[in-house]
Amino acid sequence: MKNFVFSQKIYSFLLAAYRWYLQTPERSLHQAYDAALKIKEIEDKHFNGNKIDIDSAMYSNSVMDYFESDLNKLLKTAKMRLTEFRASRWFLNEEDQKAANKAGIEYLSASFVLEKLNFIDGVISKYTISPEQITSGVVVVKPPSTPVDSAITSALPPKPPTKYVEKKSDRKLKPKTDTTGVLPRSILSTINRLQVELDPNSEGEVIQSFRQAQRRTIISIRFILLLIIVPLLTHQIAKAFIVGPTLERFRTSEQAEVFLNYEMEEEALTELQRFEERIKFENLISHAPPLSLEKIETELKEKATEIAEEFRQESSNSIKNVFADMFSVIAFIWLLLTSKSSIAVLKDFFDHIVYGLSDSAKAFIIILFTDIFVGFHSPHGWEVLLEGVSRHWGLPANRDFIFLFIATFPVILDTIFKYWIFRYLNRISPSAVATYRNMNE
């Protein structure tokens, strides 16, 4: 009965969370629209319907500071809610819309949504610096004036942005690993930078490059979060609603084994022995009358029953983890198979991050990773990790397998690191390799 009530509570909570998730686009749009209305109200009431000019001489400095503070808060709210609106619309699909209709959730009509978006963009665009107002080499990107769901939902890998964009758009960018030539790259990059600065259309190209980098970053971070959240949620949901009830239905508490392996049994015996020794010790140092053998046996029996129940639950939980992990692996593989374009964007994202670091930063990260995974102290970490995985699945920790794994896998990783340094990093950044060797010595 308690399990049924607990399951009902979990179901109600998940249903409420799902309804909140389905209402996210409409709620975000409504909040952004309210923020835009408040900005419009300030304009109409205090600035004759014109833009809120911070440098206006109509009011004192204290009053303008007050208006500026409110304006910044409202603009931030509107932009954040618009971002949330676009992201939530990307996650929602036809199945979610059907589920929303069944749950009695009615979305706003398309014309009403477009009307609100046009009003929001019309208000926000007044306070966004246009490309013509870019001065002193500072680039401020204006947000899109229309809801560009396609810019977020488009999972096609964008053209890898470079620090300085070439004038000829049809020229293909070479990979970083192939950028070798007669002249040093620093001289070539200086020449390219001068060409870009002298190009009258360079501002638009830089803005376009920045937008591509921004879109690539958003897609990559979103995909990383999906790779983490989806398997974890799949594991918990499958364990609570699929594997758990099925296992409890076909495996009663009387049939359930107390110990799955000898390590659990030894741990239980050790705990029971320590309990017996503690009882005798407390009886010896206390002034109470000594306990009889029957009383000690009774307490030991109660404790043994309690320990057996704990290990029975742990054994059952280990079996559930095995099947729940299978569901998680299936969800992870499915996510990889259906997100090939996002994987390409993520690869390009990491490529720009790794190869964009300074030489000292590259050497520091390489030494950090090699020392953690293949260094002198790494066997202890691998041992703890493998024992934790064995306990998670209810398997005995096979010392021979653990020692064999530690003797082979870190060596393979070390070989891969050295090959990558020799094959790729040595061609791209020889100074980083020299810094790495000096730091290692």
Q: Of 131-145, 375-389, 406-420, which range is least confident?
A: 131-145
Residue 399's pLDDT band (cuts 50, 70, 90): confident
* Rounded Cα–Cα distance for residues 64 and 46 (Å): 11
Q: Is the pLDDT of residue 350 over 80?
A: yes
What pLDDT, on a 0 to 100 scale, did the predictor assign at position 153?
41
What pLDDT, on a 0 to 100 scale, did the predictor assign at position 131?
42
Q: Which two tokens stand for residue 382?
A: 């691998």
Q: Is the pLDDT of residue 163 over 80?
A: no
HEC readout, 161-209: CCCCCCCCCCCCCCCHHHCCCCCCHHHHHHHHHHHHHHCCCHHHHHHHH
* Rounded Cα–Cα distance for residues 308 and 404 (Å): 33
Kindly tell me the sign of the dihedral angle through the C-alpha atoms of 278, 284, 288, 293.
positive
Under DSSP, the state recorded for 393 is T
Q: Which two tokens stand for residue 156?
A: 């096609």
Q: Is the pLDDT of residue 244 over 70?
A: yes
What pLDDT, on a 0 to 100 scale, did the predictor assign at position 365?
87
Q: Which two tokens stand for residue 328?
A: 């998680």
Q: What is the DSSP string of 17-30?
A: HHHHHHTHHHHHHH
What pLDDT, on a 0 to 100 scale, did the predictor assign at position 18?
67
Q: Is the pLDDT of residue 226 over 90?
A: yes
Tell me how far CA of residue 274 lies from CA of 150, 235, 284, in angstroms: 65, 36, 15
What pLDDT, on a 0 to 100 scale, did the predictor assign at position 230?
94
Tokens 């009383």, residue located: 295
Torsion angles phi and psi, residue 315, rounded to 5: -65, -45
What pLDDT, on a 0 to 100 scale, did the predictor assign at position 274?
92
* Rounded Cα–Cα distance for residues 128 and 49 (Å): 17
Q: Of 64-68, 157-161, 392-396, which range is least confident?
A: 157-161
User: Cβ atoms within 10 A of the Cβ of 152, count?
Assistant: 17
Q: Is the pLDDT of residue 334 over 80?
A: yes
Q: What is the mean pLDDT of the chain?
A: 77
User: Cβ atoms within 10 A of the Cβ of 84, count?
Assistant: 17
**Each residue of 53-86: pLDDT tens digit?**
776 666 777 777 778 888 888 888 888 888 888 8
Pick from 42, 49, 35: which is nearest to 78 by CA?
35
**Each residue of 90-145: pLDDT tens digit?**
766 555 566 666 656 666 677 778 888 888 888 888 887 544 443 444 444 344 44
Highest mean pLDDT of the ranges 126-135, 193-202, 224-233, 374-383:
224-233
Residue 288's pLDDT band (cuts 50, 70, 90): low
